[in-house]
Amino acid sequence: MNSTKNKLILYSLILGFLGFIVATYLTILHYKNIVPPCSVIANCEKVLTSQYATIGPISVALLGSVFYLLVMVICTLLLTNYKKIYLNAFYLLSITGFMVSVALIVIQAFILHAFCQYCLTSEAISTGILILAYLNFRKEKQVR
Amino acid sequence: MSEEKLTKKEKKELRKIEWQEKAKLEERNVKLKKYSVWAGGALLIGLVILGLVWLVNSPSSVTSTEKVNVAPVTARDITNGDSKAKLTLIEYSDFQCPACATYHPMVKQLLSDFNGKVYFAYRMFPLTNLHPNSHISAQAAYAAYKQNNLFEMSDLLFTNQKDWAETSDPTGTFMDYARKLKLDLKKFQTDLTSDEVKNYVNASEQQALSEGINSTPTFILNGVKITNPGSYDDLKKLINNELNKK
């Protein structure tokens, strides 16, 4: 793997780490039953206490933590023990993460009419990961 | 045995062994590096989780110097407890705010556990731009207050918040609560939309905004804004610490 691609994977790893911090913070808040204060400027609590914040007993934030953890594991595997299968898994993960993010933004904008700053940060991070994955894919194609 | 005395074949063999050992060492170093990366990563993740748990659990403190310029408690305020108590706790709250609903049982418990030691003032701060029913719910609470049932009505409003928060007209639900509390229904209905009640809620909202309050619930303990406690135990600890200071 050349250095540019290495860098792209490294940046994805860093983004995955940041996403993990945000998602895990929300997961802890959820399972400790702590609701963020209702702020004059943001409406996070409406999003975090809505029916869309959980899928059955599982918090969406926990799924986010697992997603970012997987991104970190795959990126580390690519950096330490590059295999094509890991790269494909990375592409698949980044597309899945982005699609879920789009769905969550649609729910916030059109159903809840409220946005949560933590959720938006996570959604921006997963979009960043998809962009990096796409750039990596393009580089791969050029090499072939 | 020095290398000069070795035959050519032996020298070749020796170099091969040396090269093999070097390759093995390099391989071991690469493996060690990989393991270190994984171990370091796992450690970092563990530390992040522990750090976040600590952050969420960290007890709030009133030692901060975040003195806020809020109006002192007056006869106009909705209060509970002895005005001569050592501690005065002011809460700015919105009936449609889920976080306020979470803190409501804690405050209730606190007033019961520290009866006579804490003078509590409830200030309405409806976040009308976020919560469409916050104003009318505050009016319902104030209408109940006019019949000396503010805290009973607050209980019903917070406990059943999900039932009325998103409805287009929660008035019927509030009437049901008034019925449950055996209030004078005619008076409650008149008060609910009276100018006096509306003006009180409007004035409370404007007061909170002018005092720089920007979220609910906001707690002011003896003039100091406190970080919202993570649990009732934290709140209790905080109150005890303040009581012991005196």
CA distance B164 to B7: 97
Q: What is the pLDDT of residues A41-66, one digit of tens each?
A: 777 888 888 889 999 889 999 999 99
Identify the band that residue B2 occupies on the pLDDT scale cut at 50, 70 and 90. Answer: low
Residue type, B62: V
More confident residue, A4 or B74: B74
List the single residue in A with minimal CA-CA distance to B219. A37
* Residue B30 pLDDT exceeds 60: yes
CB contact under 8 A, A24 and B55: no
Least confident of B1-5, B93-97, B203-207, B220-224: B1-5
pLDDT of residue B97: 92
Residue type, B149: N
3-state SS class at B14: helix
Interchain CB contact of A142 with B (< 8 Å): no
CB contact under 8 A, B130 and A43: yes
List the single residue in A with minimal CA-CA distance to B42. A73
Identify the band that residue A1 occupies on the pLDDT scale cut at 50, 70 and 90. Answer: low
* Residue B206 pLDDT exceeds 90: yes
* Residue B246 pLDDT exceeds 70: no
Taking one residue from A and the other from B, the number of pairs with CB-CB distance under 8 angstroms is 74
Q: What angle do CA B18, B23, B24 make, to 5 degrees?
A: 95
Tokens at A20, concatenated: 């993990």
Residue type, A93: L
Identify which of A32, A41, A69 has the shortest CB distance to residue B56: A32
C-alpha closest to that of B161 among B133, B124, B120, B130: B133
pLDDT of residue B8: 85
| Average per-residue pLDDT for chain A | 91
To probe the interface with A, which of B32, B97, B211, B218 has the most A CB atoms within 10 Å?
B97
CA distance B77 to B13: 96
| Average per-residue pLDDT for chain B | 90
CB contact under 8 A, A45 and B37: no
CB contact under 8 A, A20 and B228: no
* Residue B63 pLDDT exceeds 60: no
* Residue B149 pLDDT exceeds 90: yes
C-alpha closest to that of B56 among B231, B221, B214: B231
CB contact under 8 A, B100 and A38: yes
Which residues in chain A have Cβ-Cβ distances shorter than 8 Å to B219?
Answer: none
Identify the band that residue B49 occupies on the pLDDT scale cut at 50, 70 and 90. Answer: very high
Q: Are B52 and B218 contacting, i.e. CB atoms less than 8 angstroms apart?
A: no
* Residue B73 pLDDT exceeds 80: yes
Tell me how far apart the terminal alpha carbons of chain A are, to the nearest angstrom: 12
* Residue B65 pLDDT exceeds 80: no
Identify the band that residue A39 occupies on the pLDDT scale cut at 50, 70 and 90. Answer: confident
List the single residue in A with minimal CA-CA distance to B31. A80
Q: How many Cβ atoms are within 10 Å of A142's Cβ, its own excluded?
A: 7
Beta bridge partners of B98: none
Q: Are A53 and A61 contacting, i.e. CB atoms less than 8 angstroms apart?
A: yes
* Residue B60 pLDDT exceeds 70: no
Q: What is the pLDDT of residues A81-91, one digit of tens each?
A: 889 999 999 99
Residues 6+ apart with CB under 8 A from A68: A16, A17, A19, A20, A23, A125
Least confident of A94-103, A123-132, B215-224: B215-224
CB contact under 8 A, B52 and A24: yes
To probe the interface with B, which of A38, A49, A72, A86 has the most B CB atoms within 10 Å?
A38
Q: What is the pLDDT of residues B105-137, one digit of tens each?
A: 999 999 999 988 999 999 999 998 888 999 999
* Residue B194 pLDDT exceeds 60: yes
CB contact under 8 A, B130 and A114: yes
For residues B130-154, give the mean pLDDT.
Answer: 94
Gap from A12 CA to chain B (nearest CA, Å):
15
C-alpha closest to that of B204 among B97, B73, B77, B72: B77
Distances (CA, A) of B22 to B16, B18, B33, B189: 10, 6, 16, 90
Which residues in chain B have Cβ-Cβ distances shorter than 8 Å to A40?
Answer: 127, 129-130, 209, 214-215
Q: What is the CA radius of gyration of chain A?
A: 16
Gap from B99 CA to chain A (nearest CA, Å):
5
Identify the band that residue B7 occupies on the pLDDT scale cut at 50, 70 and 90. Answer: confident
pLDDT of residue A2: 59
Which residues in chain A have Cβ-Cβ distances shorter than 8 Å to B45?
Answer: 20, 69, 72
List the single residue in B with minimal CA-CA distance to A34. B230
CB contact under 8 A, B216 and A79: no
Identify which of A21, A40, A45 has the shortest CB distance to residue B98: A45
Tokens at B26, concatenated: 């390099």
Per-residue b or e along B213-239, where b marks 16 or more CB atoms closer than 10 Å to that residue's CB: bbbbbbbbbbebbbebbbebebbbebb
Interchain CB contact of A139 with B (< 8 Å): no
Interchain CB contact of A36 with B (< 8 Å): yes
